[in-house]
Amino acid sequence: MSTAGLFSRTGVRYEVALDVLGAIIAHHSEQIAIERDKPQPDENAIKVAELAKSSLRDLREALEPDDEDGIESVIQRFGQQARDLYASN
């Protein structure tokens, strides 16, 4: 089996974009869980996080592996946010 083309730049960047979105989705999930564990959860904060999570999931599902512009847009738009979220941990 040939591996030529198996690790294309676009394919690797696609995986990076998915990881970036997944990291932010995971952060929102964690924040929702933390809020729900409080004696008096802030339902508005939970709704905001759920909406953000849903929007990011939709974006992740719509992203195509051959959409170079879309992939780079996700990385540019959300990459720093993902780095910032996990740099503090």
Interval 61-87 mean pLDDT: 95
pLDDT of residue 7: 67
Give percent above pLDDT 90 in the chain: 82
3-7 own/partner pairs: CB under 8 Å, 24+ apart: none
Amino acid at the residue 82: A
Is the per-residue pLDDT at 6 higher than 60?
no
Work out the mean pLDDT of the chain and round it to a whole number. Answer: 91
pLDDT of residue 10: 87
